[in-house]
């Protein structure tokens, strides 16, 4: 009987979420699941790139301690100019020019992030947060024809605890002014539907600060912050971010990250602000696959049959 119960426990373990890696996206100012190609600009906090990082004149970790690892690259690192404050760990090759490479750790140093596991967790997390029920309504006023950036959007998130709102990209991308009213003990989660997002115009917070704000782009495949000072963090694990000249005051989590401050599509500066809630650290429990359910049910059935047999023998 003990063997059967152990087998059933093992089957249950198949459905449990994997143990968290040493560091996750919640620990970084900029977290890129795949490749990062950027020319100019900087991220003031820590940066993690799961694929290759090709950086020209790009600075990392200016506001971080110099005794910690502030840049993690799972693939190859290619740099020309720019700098990293503190240490860097690179899983692949390193090619540098006009760059102080003294902080780059020796080849073979373990990469402290399991990017494959994080990709699975972050996509599941984004979908999970999108199921949160609304706790308030969005006040939207639009002037002019659609597509003329004539909308003004206000989120009233003054209730203590988490305030949740839904909005579509067709409205958010047509907005010239975003206002968020916050309480001292409030947080705001904005779930944004739609695949293509571009934010321009002004954004202001009343009664709070950017650490209280998280936007979740669970369906986004393209994401740009144009001429805007974005006040908050953004979770967009399936989106290609293309720099548009804006500034993000918060954490940015994306599939890939590209930009050119000196030309092309523009660049984005990422300032050191972290979301103060725990939403980015959640590990949603995955729903077992049908085959796993079948094994679990079979295991429980076998365990039950063995138990009934032992009771029958004891009663005989």
Q: So what's the pLDDT on residue 7?
A: 40
Q: Considering Cα of 165, then 168, then 169, then 175, what sign does the dihedral take?
A: negative
Domain shared by 140 and 217, yes or no: yes
Domain assignment present for residue 256? The answer is: yes
Six-digit token string for 224: 């740009």
Domain shared by 130 and 238, yes or no: yes
Domain shared by 96 and 39, yes or no: yes
Six-digit token string for 214: 């998280």
The whole model's pTM is what?
0.85
**Sequence-separated (6 or more) residues with CB below 8 Å from residue 174:** 142, 146, 147, 148, 149, 150, 151
Name the DSSP class of 180. Answer: E
Q: Could you list the residue range(s) of the whole structural domain that residue 216 is in?
A: 25-281
- CA distance linking residue 158 with residue 182, whole number of Å: 5
- CA distance linking residue 275 with residue 272, whole number of Å: 10
Neighbours of 106 (CB within 10 A): 7
How does residue 301 score in pLDDT terms, banded at 50, 70 and 90?
low
Domain shared by 296 and 222, yes or no: no
- CA distance linking residue 17 with residue 21, whole number of Å: 12
- CA distance linking residue 252 with residue 58, whole number of Å: 16
Collapse the DSSP code of 263 into the 3-class scheme (helix H, G, I; strand E, B; otherwise coil) and give the result: coil
Domain shared by 187 and 309, yes or no: no
Domain assignment present for residue 71? The answer is: yes
Domain assignment present for residue 89? The answer is: yes
Q: So what's the pLDDT on residue 36?
A: 98
Domain assignment present for residue 108? The answer is: yes
Domain assignment present for residue 167? The answer is: yes
- CA distance linking residue 33 with residue 115, whole number of Å: 7
Task: Work out how many domains the chain is built from and give that number.
Answer: 2
Q: Quick one: 177 exposed, middle or buried, by C-beta within 10 A (0-12, 13-18, 19+)? A: middle
Domain shared by 186 and 231, yes or no: yes
28-32, 57-61, 160-164, 283-287: which has the minimum mean pLDDT?
283-287
List the 151-157 sheet strands across, edge first: 138-142, 151-157, 175-182, 202-206
What confidence tens digit (pLDDT) does each residue in 194-204 have?
Answer: 999 999 999 99
How does residue 286 score in pLDDT terms, banded at 50, 70 and 90?
low
Domain shared by 196 and 308, yes or no: no
Domain shared by 165 and 297, yes or no: no
Domain shared by 203 and 118, yes or no: yes
Domain assignment present for residue 53? The answer is: yes
Domain shared by 11 and 86, yes or no: no
Q: Are strands 47-49 and 30-32 parallel, antiparallel or unpaired?
A: parallel
Domain shared by 294 and 274, yes or no: no
Domain shared by 6 and 57, yes or no: no
Domain assignment present for residue 20? The answer is: no
Domain assignment present for residue 39? The answer is: yes
- CA distance linking residue 125 with residue 129, whole number of Å: 6
């Amino acid at each position: 009987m003990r063997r059967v119960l152990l087998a059933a426990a093992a089957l249950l373990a198949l459905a449990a979420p994997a143990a968290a890696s040493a560091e996750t996206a919640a620990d970084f100012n900029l977290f890129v699941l795949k490749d990062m190609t950027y020319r100019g600009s900087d991220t003031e906090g820590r940066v993690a790139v799961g694929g290759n990082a090709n950086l020209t004149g790009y600075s990392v970790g200016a506001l971080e301690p110099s005794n910690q690892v502030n840049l993690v690259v799972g693939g190859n690192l290619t740099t020309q100019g720019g700098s990293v404050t503190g240490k860097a760990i690179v899983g692949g090759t390193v090619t540098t020019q006009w760059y102080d490479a003294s902080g780059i750790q020796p080849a073979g140093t373990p990469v402290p992030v399991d990017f494959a596991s994080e990709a699975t967790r972050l996509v599941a997390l984004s979908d999970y947060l999108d199921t949160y029920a609304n706790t308030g309504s969005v006040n939207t006023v639009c002037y002019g024809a659609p597509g003329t950036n004539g909308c003004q959007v206000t989120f009233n998130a003054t209730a203590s605890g988490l305030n949740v709102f839904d909005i579509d990209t067709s409205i958010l991308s047509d907005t010239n002014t975003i206002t968020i009213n916050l309480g001292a003990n409030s947080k705001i989660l904005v779930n944004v539907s739609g695949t293509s997002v571009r934010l321009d115009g002004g954004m202001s917070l009343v009664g709070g600060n950017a650490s209280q704000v998280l936007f979740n782009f669970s369906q986004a495949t393209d994401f740009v912050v144009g001429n805007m000072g974005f006040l908050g963090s953004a979770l967009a694990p399936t989106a290609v971010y293309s720099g548009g000249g804006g500034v993000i005051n918060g954490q940015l989590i994306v599939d890939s990250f590209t930009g050119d401050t000196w030309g092309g599509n523009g660049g984005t500066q990422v300032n050191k602000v972290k979301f103060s809630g725990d939403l980015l650290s959640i590990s949603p429990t995955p729903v077992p696959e049908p085959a796993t359910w079948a094994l679990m049910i079979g295991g429980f059935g076998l365990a039950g049959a063995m138990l009934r047999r032992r009771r029958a023998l004891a009663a005989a």
